[in-house]
Chain A
Amino acid sequence: MKALRITVSLLLPVVLFWSGAPGGTPVYAQYTSSAHGDSANGVNRSAMTGYARGNCAHCHEQHASVDGLEPDPVADANPSPYELFTLNFDSAVTTNTYQVQDDICFRCHDGSNTVQDPAFQNKDYSETFGCGTPAATPVVDILGAVNQLSYHNLYDIWTFVDGDDTTYPWFNSSTNPCSGCHNPHLARRNNANPRDVTFSAISLPTDHTNLFTASMNDTFGANYEPPYCTNTTDREPASSADAATGRSSTVDYVTFCTDCHTSTNTINSTPLGRNLLTIDWSAGGDKHGLRVTEGTNNARLGPYSTATPPTQGVLSCLDCHEPHGSPNITLLRRRVNGGDLTGSIATALPASFPPVTGDTNTQNKELGYLCMRCHQEDATTVNGPAPSWRDVHHNNTGRPYAASGPCSQCHPNNSPTPLPIGCDMCHFHGATDAWLGGNALNIPTF
């Protein structure tokens, strides 16, 4: 019987064909143009032999099994929410170091232990969009990224988004925290198309069912000056030819990030043991945001040193921060504005942060490695190794503090070589110099 059937089966291709659907109008384009649904580069779980790349089954098992069997990874044979092949997210894991089994995304986004065929890489923003070279300890996948010193804590995202059913009604306790920023059915291969915002990989948490493709140019126009990339001859992202190209090619990360990081939202950080700073990027908020910058000479470096800088210049969040994780604190990039940071920013901020009057000056100048990528440090080092910042605080035109006086009013010691004030005492989101108490100017200092 079987031999006969095998012979006749040769006729099958002749008689099998697709007939038009009399029912609804299917929508394929969104998923099949996504990174996961792309038939050339999409999902392809090694265990799912015979399934086309991009097929739903690489992530979803409609019956928590396939043909009655449990395909790899078999260690987790229980059915999982959303019919996923393994647990979506283990909310018992509250901090890194993450393991592949903690989040289904890591099953593939772990270049060294992936269930995806072939393995692939997701390098950090500094490299993919910021023209950087691999770090000394290269980060080549998302699992590696979030296992660095600072990272977007998945448990905190999960807690925050799930805790607001009004703003994020689509998110529930079984939802993957990565979905807070990414819609896996829509996210596109931005890393392969870094200068095309239509290849964005993100969706607004408040608009999860749409891909977010607004550019910095769309929202801020020329008020956004894309940073240098390779050197001073090109711009982010990814060696854009000029500023106009750069701002049109950069996703509007300000609108995106401030969808959660608003001036009012309380977001707890488990690793930091406190709430995150709120972000006010409006004209009434930070100077790195839309607040009108004062003065004419703030010793800014290119491309921000033009004779007539925009009065409401604004930075993109990712001009300074990595989205997933960083070897520096607070997800600060290892490369900014066309150059690598010359030192590590690894010292943790004080447990009680932000500072208040009476707090001890940290004298921590590490943050200066970031600042000096855009701001001119002292031409002549005053006290200790670079960076030092006496000129911008005391000497330059428009200086905020007196050129001379009793240094010990603010510094730990008096002249002629006062000890530095830690950058983190005054320069952070929402900062003023209020910690100086009676000596404070109470001016925005970020």
Chain B
Amino acid sequence: MTLPSVLAQVDTIPEDSGGPYVIAAYVVFLVMVVVYLAIMAQRLQRIAKTADALEARLDALQPGSGAAPSPSATAPAEPVAITPKAPATPAAPATPAGDPAA
């Protein structure tokens, strides 16, 4: 299956048998997937920004950390476990239950 043979097929899409509609259906699906991936990428950027801010905050908390580089800046990247580390017993909420911020 070569590219010219694929393009030859595209050239022969019959318009009287709903060709544009078929193409539209496939394009709509692919566009939805791409839009979803773009949204995911945006969220990933937000997570990265939050991690940076958190890192800066932790660096500020450590005495004399200004001179030393942060461990995360030098350590190799490790795989991230998908499952949050849930405690054996439910942890006390940081804010009262029912608080919209909880």
A binds B: no
Chain A interface (Cβ within 8 Å of chain B)?
A: none
